[in-house]
Amino acid sequence: MNTAPLFVIIPLGTAFLVSLVGKYYKRSSDVFSNVACCILLGLSFYTLSIIRNIPTHLLVYKIGGWAPPVGISMVIDSLSVFMLVTVNLIAFLVTVYSVDYMNKYTDKWKFYTLFMLMLTGMNGVIITGDLFNMFVFLEIASIASYALVAFGTESEELEASFKYAVMGSVASSFILLGIAVLYSYTSTLNMADMALSLTAKGPAKILPFVSVLFLMGFGLKAALVPFHAWLPDAHPSAPAPISAMLSGVLIKSLGVYALARILFNVFGVTDVILSILMFLGALSMLVGVFLAVGQWDFKRLLAYHSISQIGYVVLGIGLGSPLGICGGLFHLFNHSIFKSLLFLNSGAIVYSVGTRDLHAMGGLREKMPVTANTSLVASMSIAGIPPFNGFFSKLIIIFACVQSGHFGYAFWAVVGSVLTLASFMKVQRYAFFGALGKKRQDVKEVPLAMQISMAILAVICLVASTLVLPAFSDFVTSAAAVLSGGKEYANLVSGAFK
């Protein structure tokens, strides 16, 4: 069975259903969303197993039976399925967490509707094989996330959402402009067909121009450093499950994945673009971590670390060598696990204690053991302490830098990692260790569903380390092979349609 369209149909259908009945039956929105996310997670693992058994590692679906380039197509290859597993895994755990957490807001069903729309957009961006269709899904995910950032409708949240929405729509306009220029040059919108057409026409002068437009557009969605200003406001302002989704997967599927897919598989990446990617990656890595060290707002600190960690991912992918891309994608997976976990931890503290200020916490370890231990695991993962997953992916990226002869970037990657460790030691020291304040004697651990969701993520932090073993590494390496294969993608996809 072809599972490709289900990744869009299921969340979209659930959003529709929840918006219809959620208002009248209180628990129905919880049930529908959790069941839908559980099915999606199962489907993405099922697709993973199918893709492995197909010789070309490619699953294509023609919408309405129209053959491309006339119709819109969906293409799932190893890279897409890697992203699908990441997105749907986080989405499932986040919905489990939201059941209790979102009780403090009114109109929970509106939250689930927007959440499912955002998931539709992200899954759509990942599986589509058509450039304009990608833009449409990207806008669906973006608009849902603008609304979700403002979900609390307090003044800070509205301000952050307005800023995010303005910058996001300017970025979308740049992306649309890039698509228009590309269409006028190649007369096609199908990505595989476009790649073939660009190869047939030889080196094009418009490619650098369009690459810059896409770097600005997708770079803003991914919060690379010159375009990062919205992230430290928007991510902390959203409700904690949404912060986990935004930092965990949205900036990666909308930003890094889309950028990498277009630059590597459609344009065929050049040395100039690679060095720009590496530079932006290293810059985000350092600027993000320097800004994070001085923060005292827990969620804002985490948001700056997202900028820094996305820098590692882009640096890894920008190296362009197979090892570098592997490290970058592996870090993308790991970061989505431990950063969602950290945001869920911050949400648990907000839920029980009611503050995000690190000064006002302290000694929570004895009252909230599950939150404290899971956040310790996540902090060690993000800081790169063995045997947690963050250590291995950072190590691979640093090795890849040395292997390609970029010793400077390798050095700065180590510096960034040390500063990350420092700032998470601060978090642990001020939030969980130390003496418990007098006012905090009646603090309780969060409800069971939230604990389970955090505990599962913490276990994955440890288990994901096994992905470096040769027996399991296929999950990441086959995804990296799609990117390092470059324009081979076009031949494979157009072959699959015949």
Partner 1 sequence: MAAYFLCLVLFSIGLYCVLRKRNLIKIVVGLGIIEYAVNLFFALVGYRARGRAPILSADQVISNMVDPIPQALVLTAIVIGLAVTALIVAIAIKIYEKYGTFDITKINKLKG
For partner 1, which residue of 153, 199, 275, 466 counts as binding (CB under 8 A)? 153
DSSP state of 435: P
Should residue 53 be labelled a site residue for partner 1 when binding is judged by CB under 8 A?
no
Residue whose CB is less far from partner 1, 100 or 159? 159
- Closest distance between partner 1 and the C-beta of residue 187, in Å? 8
- Closest distance between partner 1 and the C-beta of residue 334, in Å? 28
Geometric angle at alpha carbon 335, from 224 and 478, rounded to 5°: 95
How far apart (Å, rounded) are the C-alpha atoms in residues 77 and 40? 17
Should residue 183 be labelled a site residue for partner 1 when binding is judged by CB under 8 A?
yes
Total residues at the site for partner 1 (CB under 8 A)?
34
Contact range with partner 1 by CB under 8 A, out of 92-100, 232-240, 370-378, 448-456: 232-240
CA distances from 159 to 149, 236, 324 (A): 10, 12, 38
For partner 1, which residue of 180, 418, 422, 459 counts as binding (CB under 8 A)? 180
Contact range with partner 1 by CB under 8 A, out of 72-80, 231-239, 457-465, 489-497: 231-239
Identify the H or E element spanning 62: strand 58-62
For partner 1, which residue of 9, 27, 104, 154 counts as binding (CB under 8 A)? 154
Should residue 156 be labelled a site residue for partner 1 when binding is judged by CB under 8 A?
yes
How far apart (Å, rounded) are the C-alpha atoms in residues 192 and 181? 17
For partner 1, which residue of 37, 150, 266, 476 counts as binding (CB under 8 A)? 150
For partner 1, which residue of 68, 78, 112, 139 counts as binding (CB under 8 A)? 139
Spatial CA neighbour of 43 closest among 15, 74, 78, 84: 84
Should residue 147 be labelled a site residue for partner 1 when binding is judged by CB under 8 A?
yes
For partner 1, which residue of 162, 411, 472, 497 counts as binding (CB under 8 A)? 162
DSSP annotation string for 297-333:
BHHHHHHHHHHHHHHHHHHHHHH-SHHHHHHHHHHHH
Residue whose CB is less far from partner 1, 237 or 379? 237
How far apart (Å, rounded) are the C-alpha atoms in residues 12 and 6? 10
SS (H, E, C) 242-287: HHHHHHHHHHHHHHHHHHHHHHHHHHCCCHHHHHHHHHHHHHHHHH
Should residue 143 be labelled a site residue for partner 1 when binding is judged by CB under 8 A?
yes
How many helices (H) and strands (E) are present in the chain, helices listed first?
21, 2
Give contact residues for partner 1 (rule: CB under 8 A): 132, 135-136, 139, 143, 146-147, 150, 153-156, 158-163, 165-166, 169-170, 172-173, 176-177, 180, 183-184, 189, 229, 232-233, 237
